[in-house]
Amino acid sequence: MKQQPGWVLPNLREAQKRTHQDSKIEKALFSIPAQCQGVGQGKRYYLRTYGCQANERDSETLAGILEALQFQPTEDVQEADLILMNTCAVRKNAEDKVLGEIGHFKHLARQREDLVIGVCGCMAQEENIVETLLTKYRHVNLIFGTHNLHCLPELLYQVMVGHETCVEVYSKEGDVIENLPVRRFGRHKAWVNIMYGCDKFCTYCIVPYTRGKERSRRMEDILSEVRTLKEEGYREITLLGQNVNAYGKDLGIEGGFARLLEETAKIGIDRIRFTTSHPWDFSDEMIEMIAAYENIMPFIHLPVQSGDSEILKIMGRRYTIEEYRTLFDKIMTRIPGCAVSTDIIVGFPNESDEQFEHTMEIVDYCKFDNAFTFIYSPREGTPAARMRDNVPMEVKQARLARLNERWNSYALEKNTAYEGRVVKVLVDGPSKKNESAYSGYTETNKLVNFSAEGAAAGDIVEVRITQARTWSLHGELVSREK
């Protein structure tokens, strides 16, 4: 690969650094330079999003910027003038999927010389991936990372008008950039970033390198966004961060997340959710806030990762399984009926049969409402990727299958307890196939399919649950607007 003048390539060594310098909060960094105005006039963009809610929210910003440049969205890749892949690097299979997709675009690029194919998001932050793109996927002509979404107008201009391949990926700790345009994809539910990056450095995880250092938005900026959303008719917001418990620590706000939860609740928006909370510094004050305010939903995503304290230590998770259990018990005592979901990794390097059985035991203990389970995937540059691993892939797959069977049985048990109960559901909308079949989510984040005449997306209705399944509940409408 030949470095071209003007390219800024990702650098793993730089991404690993953390300095004590404060992040800047930039309020006026975004503008559309005169020559870029209207660069998307008469053109269509196709945007694909992979990965977590942070990426979903970034895609709303990307769409906002593109529409400010007068691009129109399309769902059909064939008619797109710009294809943008907002990617995830958390596991190898996520990356392989994206690379496969990008491979398919080669024939489109052959037919259309002016087609722009862009890759952004977490994969664009990886040295090895960018090298692969620049050598083996040469039809990709735009690469930018997670730190410079606001530069998209200039970058597009260089590719579209200057006809140059453009690579601009910063491996820095990152700033907080406010006032970027946004085109929200939902009309009743919205994502609200409260912080960016991660400083936990769990030994298996690439996120601290792709997203930069942990940095919070100012509380007044977050609250003002929530107020605006409420005025616009949004009924549910989800506060987003890789570890929301750390909110405000960098700004010196004592008890930051608990305070933010309380201030957000006082605004009076109907439903407040948050993700992700780390078991390590989940404070009692946070539990008290969730218990105290009706509009903070009784649903907590609490990734355990493993049920074995030795593995947790090597993963750098900072809690023992006893501490996790104590936290879980406290949550269930203070917030009765609270739903808890989790993430679990099986087949971490050298995980023994006995250690895996400990994971099965914590699943038996917590009976999670939902679980996201993964086979460990080595990520270049992380400490765990350098560990020798004696667990064969077949063993990892067998463990995953057993684990899935076990947690599924508990999810069904949890759902069955809802039969006969009346629950509040925020309606997402009628199903595409059947006008009188609706779906939405309970306060505890359970998917409910129900029949009704004339309900509307955005209503909060009461539904009686008639039947439980592993993944969803079924019911009938009892009363309309609540």
Q: What ranges make up the beta strands (E) of 244-348?
A: 271-275, 299-301, 339-346
Of residues 377 and 470, the one with the C-beta less far from ligand SAH = 377
Non-local CB neighbours of 14 within 8 Å, separated by 6+ positions: 171, 172
DSSP assignment of 404-458: HHHHHHHHHHHHHTTTT-EEEEEEEEE-SS-TTEEEEEETT--EEEEE-SS--TT
The annotated binding site for [4Fe-4S] cluster is made up of 52, 88, 122, 198, 202, 205
Kindly state the DSSP code that residue 78 receives in the 8-state scheme: G
**Per DSSP, what are the bridge partners of residue 427?**
440
CB of 143 to ligand F3S, least distance (A): 15
* Peptide bond between residue 276 and the one before it cis (omega within 30 degrees of 0): yes
Interface residue with ligand F3S, options 62, 122, 260, 261 (CB under 6 A):
122
Q: What are phi and psi of 197, to 5 degrees?
A: 75, 180
Binding mask 89-118 for ligand F3S (x = CB under 6 A): xx----------------------------
- Residue 88 binds: one of ligand F3S, ligand SF4, ligand SAH, none (C-beta under 5 to 8 A by kind): ligand F3S
Of residues 194 and 477, the one with the C-beta less far from ligand F3S = 194
210 is a site residue for ligand F3S (CB under 6 A): yes
88 is a site residue for ligand F3S (CB under 6 A): yes
Contact of 174 with 154, CB cutoff 8 Å: no
- Greatest CA separation for the chain: 67
From 38-46, 73-81, 205-213, 412-420, give the range in contact with ligand SF4 by CB under 6 A.
205-213
| Cα 364 to Cα 17, 201, 405, distances in angstroms | 40, 28, 12
Interface residue with ligand SAH, options 36, 63, 65, 90 (CB under 6 A):
90
Interface residue with ligand SF4, options 68, 129, 195, 205 (CB under 6 A):
205
Task: Provide long-range contacts, Cβ within 8 A and 24+ apart, for 291-294.
Answer: 291/334, 291/335, 293/261, 293/262, 293/265
Q: Rounded to 5 degrees, what angle do the CA atoms 361, 362, 368 make?
A: 120
Tokens 């929530």 map to which residue? 226
CB of 473 to ligand SAH, least distance (A): 25
299 is a site residue for ligand SAH (CB under 6 A): no
Interface residue with ligand SAH, options 148, 216, 238, 276 (CB under 6 A):
276
Region 171-200 residues binding ligand SF4, contact defined as CB under 6 A: 198, 200
- Residue 208 binds: one of ligand F3S, ligand SF4, ligand SAH, none (C-beta under 5 to 8 A by kind): ligand SF4
Tokens 């780390």 map to which residue? 278
- Residue 210 binds: one of ligand SF4, ligand F3S, ligand SAH, none (C-beta under 5 to 8 A by kind): ligand F3S
249 is a site residue for ligand SF4 (CB under 6 A): no
By beta carbon distance, the residue nearest ligand SAH is 343
Contact of 69 with 153, CB cutoff 8 Å: yes
202 is a site residue for ligand SF4 (CB under 6 A): yes
280 is a site residue for ligand SF4 (CB under 6 A): no
From 34-42, 353-361, 373-381, 465-473, give the range in contact with ligand SAH by CB under 6 A.
373-381
Kindly report the number of other CB atoms within 10 A of residue 400's CB atom. Answer: 18
In one-letter notation, the amino acid at residue 401 is A
Residues found near ligand SF4 in the complex (CB under 6 A): 198, 200-202, 205, 207-208, 242-243, 278
Residues found near ligand SAH in the complex (CB under 6 A): 52, 90-91, 204-205, 207, 242-243, 276, 278, 303, 305, 343, 345, 374, 376-377, 379
